[in-house]
């Protein structure tokens, strides 16, 4: 499943109240929308936590029925050159908004993929069309955005969704799709999604095709992730000194779940913190994991 998953679109919120896990950011944005006084915005944070959704909600709440005419969405990772900024953005920014809001909105998704030259062109465009246009920029890493653009925007940093918010999304989807999700399955979904709501919905959609009763076994196999318990067993064997047995179990695990070496290292790093060994040893092991991953 990719980003255009049916469920991802189906469960995309259309009001501020529906957005999960970003309460502080939503409250500030609501104040901007209420007064129709929106600065340029820069949303940064991991994937699947609501950046694009919030941009769409802002447009829907500001413009109502005419939001599509007043909202331009561009994915900078598709068209990352200077021509995109010069032609598409400028053409849209030149005309006035339809309705009683004095500006249009241009949403540039994944703008950390824009070249430095394109970002410089964007900086001038943001200045030139302030009266008729507001920009919402979205990125995973704000450090890749040039300082002049950052200083022109109100910066909002999104965080992964917490456990309870993920559970709320699971319950909503399960209820509307007629799924049964066990408590172990919920825990597995949270562990695998790591606060990424889009990944959560994609995994649930994939599992629901096979079985309406979702359990941890099905979820781990669908996501190609080893169970934390199995990874912990390998680490315990290694700590006891039975390296040959630990290696055999590790190879079996990788073959069963189709894991790459990188996947395994990341899972091992997570499970080290749950081992019953001194904290100093845990830090040493995590340090080795980082070295190996590098």
First-last CA distance in the chain: 28
pLDDT of residue 79: 60
Distance (Å) of CA 143 to CA 42, 135, 140? 12, 18, 9
**Domain at 228-293: CATH architecture:** Up-down Bundle (1.20)
How large is the average pLDDT for residues 126-138?
88
User: How sure is the predictor about 3, in pLDDT bands with cuts at 50, 70 and 90?
Assistant: very low
Confidence of residue 4 (pLDDT cuts 50, 70, 90): very low
Residue 255: other Cβ atoms inside 10 A: 9
pLDDT of residue 178 exceeding 50: yes
* CATH architecture of structural domain 22-157: 3-Layer(aba) Sandwich (3.40)
The pLDDT assigned to 82 comes to: 67
Q: State the average pLDDT for the chain.
A: 87
Q: Which residues of 116-128 are buried (b: 16+ CB within 10 A; e: fewer)?
A: eebbbbbbebbee
CATH class of the domain at 163-222: mainly alpha
Residues 180-219 pLDDT 10s: 999 899 999 998 888 899 999 999 998 998 889 999 888 9
Domain definitions of the chain by residue range? 22-157, 163-222, 228-293
Range name among 80-84, 164-168, 230-234, 253-257 with the lowest pLDDT average: 80-84
Query: What's the whole-model pTM score?
Result: 0.81
For residue 5, what pLDDT is reported?
Answer: 63
Q: Does residue 127 register a pLDDT over 70?
A: yes
Tokens of 102: 């004095």
CA 286 to chain centre: 25
Q: What percent of the chain has a predicted confidence (pLDDT) above 70?
A: 94
The 3-class SS string of 30-68 reads HHHHHHCCCCCEEEECCCCCCHHHHHHHHHHHHHHHHCC
The pLDDT tens digits for 265-292 are 988 998 999 888 999 999 999 999 999 9
- Contact 282/272 with Cβ under 8 angstroms? yes
* DSSP structure class, residue 159: -
């Amino acid at each position: 499943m990719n980003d255009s998953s049916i469920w991802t679109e189906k469960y995309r919120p259309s009001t501020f109240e529906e957005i999960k896990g970003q309460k502080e950011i939503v409250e500030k944005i609501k104040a901007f929308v209420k007064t129709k006084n929106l600065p340029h915005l820069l949303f940064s944070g991991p994937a699947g936590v609501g950046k694009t959704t919030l941009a769409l909600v802002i447009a829907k709440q500001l413009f109502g029925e005419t939001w599509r005419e007043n909202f331009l969405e561009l994915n900078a990772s598709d068209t990352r050159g200077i021509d995109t900024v010069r032609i598409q953005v400028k053409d849209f920014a030149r005309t006035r908004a339809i309705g009683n809001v004095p500006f249009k909105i241009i949403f540039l998704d994944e703008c950390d993929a824009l070249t430095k030259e394109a970002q410089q062109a964007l900086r001038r465009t943001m200045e030139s069309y302030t009266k008729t246009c507001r920009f919402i920029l979205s990125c995973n890493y704000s450090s890749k955005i040039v300082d002049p653009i950052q200083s022109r925007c109100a910066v909002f940093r999104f965080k992964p969704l917490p456990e309870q918010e993920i559970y709320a999304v699971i319950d909503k989807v399960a209820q509307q799709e007629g799924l049964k999700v066990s408590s172990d399955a919920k825990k597995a979904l949270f562990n695998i999604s790591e606060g990424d709501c889009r990944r959560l919905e994609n995994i649930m959609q994939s599992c629901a095709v096979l079985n309406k009763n979702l359990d941890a076994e099905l979820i781990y196999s669908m996501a190609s992730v080893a169970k934390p318990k199995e990874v912990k067993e390998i680490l315990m064997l290694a700590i006891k000194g039975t390296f040959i047995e630990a290696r055999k179990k590790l190879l079996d695990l990788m073959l069963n779940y189709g894991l790459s070496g990188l996947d395994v290292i990341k899972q091992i790093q997570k499970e080290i913190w749950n081992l019953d060994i001194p904290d100093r040893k845990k830090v040493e092991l995590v340090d080795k994991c980082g070295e190996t991953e590098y």
